[in-house]
């Protein structure tokens, strides 16, 4: 019997309370106020970036200098496209692909597979076809995140699993080939499973660094794992 359960963010929870309309409206108002004064949100509008997350990738690249003019880059979970905007600018002679379940508006210089499930064999076949002339991928990016449930521990584990799914695409499923010495950059929310996942990554990469760009909010558990030199 499921009458005492409801689905929330992909998880089944018991006796969940309904959201208060008044509380939700208050949260929305606070979000709008924060966005209107946030430094990186304002700068994103000024530079025509689709999201403030563009500055996170720019800072990480300035630190590790991994986006080269001729790099082949695939951004998995690329919506709304701000990371693609950065990559297209920094890899003018390369090949830039974005994949997302959502519809992503076109970006000049990027090959975007919208409404596409990266775990689908059909989508993976299409990716291999598009990469046939380029060969292997130099950089794999993942800035995606699941819809939050409100439980930090649960959200952390769900995001780790998303990152692990991307990791397996080029280590187990062979959806595409990551070049020797290639780079994998993914977002996580900090939590109990971080150490275990870093150990998994370290088995396939010579270097794994934890980074928190300035553009991450101070009260956020958001971190990035930068992995270099694929074995």
| Catalytic-labelled residue, pool 56, 65, 133, 187 | 187
Quick one: pLDDT at residue 157? 98
Same domain, 22 and 59: no
Please confirm, yes or no, whether 25 is among the known catalytic residues.
no
128-157 per-position pLDDT tens digit: 999 998 999 999 999 999 999 999 999 999
pTM summary value: 0.83
Q: What pLDDT band is residue 10 in, cutting at 50, 70 and 90?
A: very low
Same domain, 102 and 21: no
Same domain, 111 and 219: yes
Burial 93-107, CB ≥16 within 10 A → b, else e = ebbbbbbbeeebeeb
Same domain, 21 and 69: no
86-127 per-position pLDDT tens digit: 999 999 999 999 999 999 999 999 999 999 999 999 999 999
Domain that residue 32 falls in: 5-41
Using the predicted structure, report yes or no on whether residue 50 has a pLDDT greater than 90. yes
| Mean pLDDT on 35-50 | 80
156-200 per-position pLDDT tens digit: 999 999 999 999 999 999 999 999 999 999 999 999 999 999 999
13-34 per-position pLDDT tens digit: 333 333 344 444 444 444 444 5
Is 46 domain-assigned?
A: no
Assign 3-class secondary structure to the chain.
CCCCEEEECCEEEECCCCCCHHHHHHHHHHHHHHHHHCHHHHHHHHCCCCCCCHHHHHHHHHHHCCCCCCCEEEEECCCCCHHHHHHHHHCCCCEEEEECCCCCCCCCCEEEECCCCCCCHHHHHHHHHHHCCCCCEEEEEECCCCCCCCCHHHHHHHHHHHHHHHHHHHHCCCCCCEEEEEEEEEEEECCCCHHHHHHHHHCCEEEEEEECCCCCCCCCCEEEEEEEEEC
Same domain, 15 and 111: no
Domains of the chain: total? 2
Quick one: pLDDT at residue 36? 52
Same domain, 21 and 117: no
What span, in angstroms and rounded, lies between the C-alpha atoms of 154 and 62?
32
Same domain, 33 and 93: no
């Amino acid at each position: 019997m499921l009458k005492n359960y409801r689905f929330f963010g992909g998880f089944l929870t018991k006796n969940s309370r309904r959201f208060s309309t008044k509380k939700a409206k208050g949260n929305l108002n606070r979000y709008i106020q924060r966005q209107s004064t946030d430094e990186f949100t304002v700068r994103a509008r000024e530079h025509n970036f689709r999201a403030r997350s563009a500055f996170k990738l720019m800072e990480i690249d300035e630190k590790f200098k991994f986006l080269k003019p001729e790099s082949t880059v695939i951004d998995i979970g690329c919506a709304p496209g701000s990371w693609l905007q950065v990559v297209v600018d920094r890899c003018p002679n390369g090949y830039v692909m974005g994949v997302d379940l959502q519809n992503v508006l076109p970006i000049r210089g990027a090959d975007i597979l919208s409404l596409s499930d990266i775990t689908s064999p059909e989508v993976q076949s299409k990716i291999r076809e598009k990469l046939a002339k380029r060969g292997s991928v130099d950089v794999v990016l993942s800035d995606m995140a699941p819809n939050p449930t409100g439980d930090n521990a649960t959200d952390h584990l769900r995001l780790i699993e998303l990152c692990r799914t991307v990791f397996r695409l080029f280590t187990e499923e062979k959806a595409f080939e990551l070049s020797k010495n290639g780079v994998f950059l993914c977002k996580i929310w900090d939590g109990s499973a971080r150490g275990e996942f870093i150990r998994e990554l370290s088995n396939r990469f010579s270097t794994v660094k934890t980074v928190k760009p300035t553009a991450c909010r101070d009260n956020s558990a958001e971190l990035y794992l930068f992995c270099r030199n694929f074995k």
